[in-house]
Amino acid sequence: MSAPTNATALLARLQASGLALQAQDGLAPAQLVAVAAPDWGRMAQEASALGWRWVSVWAQELDADTGIDAAAGAAGAVGEVGEVVAEAGPVLQVNACFEHGGAYLVARTHVPRAHPLLASHTPLYPGADRPERHVHDLLGVVFTDHPDRRRWTRHQAWAKSEHPLRRDYPVAGQPAELTPPDCRYNFLQAQGSGVYEIPVGPVHAGIIEPGHFRFQAVGETVLRLEQHLAYTHKGIEKIAEGRDAAGLARLAGRVSGDSTVAHAWAACMAMERAAGLEVPVRALWLRALLCERERVANHVGDMGAMLNDIGFAFGAMQFSRLREAWQRVSNEVFGHRFIMDVVVPGGVAMDLQPLWLPILRDEAQAMRLQVLKLMAIINNLTSVEDRVRGTGILKAEDAKALGCVGYVGRASGQNFDVRRDAPYAPYDGLSVQVPLHRYGDVNARARVRLEEMAASFDLIEALLDDLPGGPVLTPWQSPPEGAEGLGLVEGWRGEILTYVRFGADGRVARFFPRDPSWTTWPALELLVHDNIVPDFPICNKSVNGSYSGADL
């Protein structure tokens, strides 16, 4: 079934069920649908019944007249949405994105800021749990039947009655002299004979970001893992407001530093769609080249880290060496080890000089051979096999329920890749091989990474061989006030969704980047069940969620 047919089928079912909604334009490639607030829960029920994946939720504060205009279709059908908004003053616009077969649909509704009540999607889509809590913490939307009312984002840094993404809240906040500790978070208590708790973090060894892991175990066997994340809260969404396009691209590249290319590309894609800007073909090919190099660097690094977590020093050092060599070339060619600030609105900040073409091609071929040689050694070691096979199994039904994407989803049978299933230039003209495994253990996630690297080497060679000529940057043109855009990019962790809306003078009014780590972190809680405590590090690294990407 094609993507447009998928969206048409869902819309037909929604309309037949009696929901008050109206299809609207303006958020390509997704189909935008205005939904009456009382039908928000039923909207998710119908989408779930048709097998649509829940992608993300985000919200923003608008003036009352803006809300009425945006919800005109739903208000006309129900005869109440516009009236409620008009009486309440400012409104909160809430958006939820769904995907099926490469088709995207964004449902949109409005609730009065004074009484922002909506049905929760979490009972139908477990992956909506933390994102909805994030929206509640930052904007005050109350999801009435949400199963978990605990605070999620930045814990005790502001009062429960304060919501930092509302327009009257200052960027710097209203910090107390000392933020109180979040010592009353209601973890599930350990019960039963022989059951004990192991608290880990939030401060860890090394340079990783803070995150608390509360284990319940009997002996060495993990019965339950509960996470408490979002300790830092950088304020990405708030400090994006008022930036120009170039400033937003730089900020997007720092949502998660190891995904700087993918996040910057998704943000620029959203802004360019809002502005109706056509990006030069050569620039799009260079963006893809950068994104595939980012994918290889991270997969190679994580392979070494996984081997380190099982004590196989030789493999850890060899993969670390390969990543270092790869990143040094990136620094020499593109000016930064992580390729930051090369993707900019309208294209890329620098062209690729002809002298680098054979060097990058030879490097990809050499890296492919070295990875194959290393894996030939590692695959024959029973000590490695014993630690990765059957360890950390994420069941296919759990991966589907959480909406897992990227290597975590594909190792558990979730066959989706934006480059192939909702293709964007230049991938719409390239052959993208997407590996798929079904056992869902650490070994499967490692196999997906290795096969993704092989596919990336093929793509890198194709991009270098057929790199078109021409300019690499189109001058930026400010979009009109209220223009909005959606960016969808397959980063190395999986699907990245970015929403941008512009205000006056070409300045950003709303920026929301959804990292795939929102789904992989809760997956870690499930896949570690019934494993031994010493296997948690490799389970964790095989998933490798971004603390930063899921703590905006």
The stretch 135-163 carries a mean pLDDT of: 91
Model confidence band, residue 301 (pLDDT cutoffs 50, 70, 90) = very high
In the predicted model, is pLDDT for residue 42 greater than 60? yes
The stretch 383-407 carries a mean pLDDT of: 95
Q: 451 lies in a domain?
A: yes
pLDDT of residue 161: 86
450 and 507 part of one domain: yes
In the predicted model, is pLDDT for residue 317 greater than 70? yes
Q: 509 lies in a domain?
A: yes
Q: Nearest Cα to 492, choosing from 524, 465, 517, 466? A: 517
Q: 297 lies in a domain?
A: yes
Q: Which domain holds residue 113?
A: 3-143
CATH number, position 470: 1.10.645.10
In the predicted model, is pLDDT for residue 81 greater than 50? no
pLDDT of residue 26: 83
Q: 13 lies in a domain?
A: yes
**Type of residue numbered 272:** E
Last residue of a domain, one of 127, 143, 159: 143
The stretch 303-331 carries a mean pLDDT of: 95
420 and 446 part of one domain: yes
404 and 477 part of one domain: yes
Alpha-carbon distance of 63 to 166, in angstroms, equals 12
Structure tokens at 253: 């590249």
**Total domains in the fold of the chain:** 3
In the predicted model, is pLDDT for residue 332 greater than 90? yes
Mean pLDDT of the chain: 91
In the predicted model, is pLDDT for residue 180 greater than 50? yes
Alpha-carbon distance of 538 to 389, in angstroms, equals 12
Q: Nearest Cα to 498, choosing from 341, 267, 274? A: 267
Strands 117-118 and 142-143: parallel
Higher pLDDT, 179 or 401: 401
Alpha-carbon distance of 39 to 109, in angstroms, equals 9
**418-442: pLDDT as tens digits:** 999 999 999 999 999 999 999 999 9
In the predicted model, is pLDDT for residue 206 greater than 80? no
pLDDT of residue 265: 98
Q: Nearest Cα to 281, choosing from 430, 421, 418? A: 430
pLDDT of residue 24: 86
Q: How much of the chain exceeds pLDDT 90, in percent?
A: 79
Alpha-carbon distance of 456 to 445, in angstroms, equals 16
Q: How much of the chain exceeds pLDDT 70, in percent?
A: 95
223 and 288 part of one domain: no
Q: 163 lies in a domain?
A: no
Report CA dihedral (199, 203, 205, 211) to the nearest 10 degrees: 70
Contacts of range 155-158, beta carbons closer than 8 Å, 24 or more positions apart: 155/182, 155/185, 155/230, 155/231, 156/180, 156/181, 156/182, 157/233
In the predicted model, is pLDDT for residue 75 greater than 70? no
Model confidence band, residue 5 (pLDDT cutoffs 50, 70, 90) = low
In the predicted model, is pLDDT for residue 290 greater than 70? yes
308 and 222 part of one domain: no
249 and 224 part of one domain: no
283 and 205 part of one domain: no
**264-283: pLDDT as tens digits:** 999 999 999 999 999 999 99
382 and 511 part of one domain: yes
Higher pLDDT, 7 or 505: 505
258 and 208 part of one domain: no
Cα distances (Å, whole numbers) of residue 194 to 216, 223, 424: 10, 11, 54
363 and 321 part of one domain: yes
Range of lowest pLDDT (78-92, 243-257, 262-276, 455-469): 78-92
Q: 234 lies in a domain?
A: no
The stretch 28-54 carries a mean pLDDT of: 93
Q: 186 lies in a domain?
A: no
pLDDT of residue 78: 32
In the predicted model, is pLDDT for residue 86 greater than 50? no
Q: Nearest Cα to 313, choosing from 378, 388, 386? A: 378
Q: Name the pTM for this structure.
A: 0.94
276 and 139 part of one domain: no
Going 408 to 412 to 413 to 414, the CA torsion angle's sign is negative
* Strand order, beta sheet including 508-514: 484-490, 495-502, 508-514
The stretch 46-68 carries a mean pLDDT of: 86
The stretch 285-300 carries a mean pLDDT of: 98
pLDDT of residue 488: 98
Model confidence band, residue 101 (pLDDT cutoffs 50, 70, 90) = very high
| First vs last C-alpha separation in the chain | 36
383 and 266 part of one domain: yes
296 by DSSP, 3-state: which? helix
Alpha-carbon distance of 293 to 338, in angstroms, equals 9
Q: Which residues pair with 224 in a beta bridge?
A: 216
Alpha-carbon distance of 295 to 290, in angstroms, equals 9
CATH number, position 35: 3.30.460.80
pLDDT of residue 69: 39
Alpha-carbon distance of 500 to 267, in angstroms, equals 7
User: Is residue 419 within 8 Å of 266, Cβ to Cβ?
Assistant: no
Range of lowest pLDDT (167-171, 298-302, 347-351): 167-171
In the predicted model, is pLDDT for residue 179 greater than 90? no
pLDDT of residue 3: 54
Q: 183 lies in a domain?
A: no
Q: Nearest Cα to 24, choosing from 78, 95, 90? A: 95
In the predicted model, is pLDDT for residue 345 greater than 90? yes
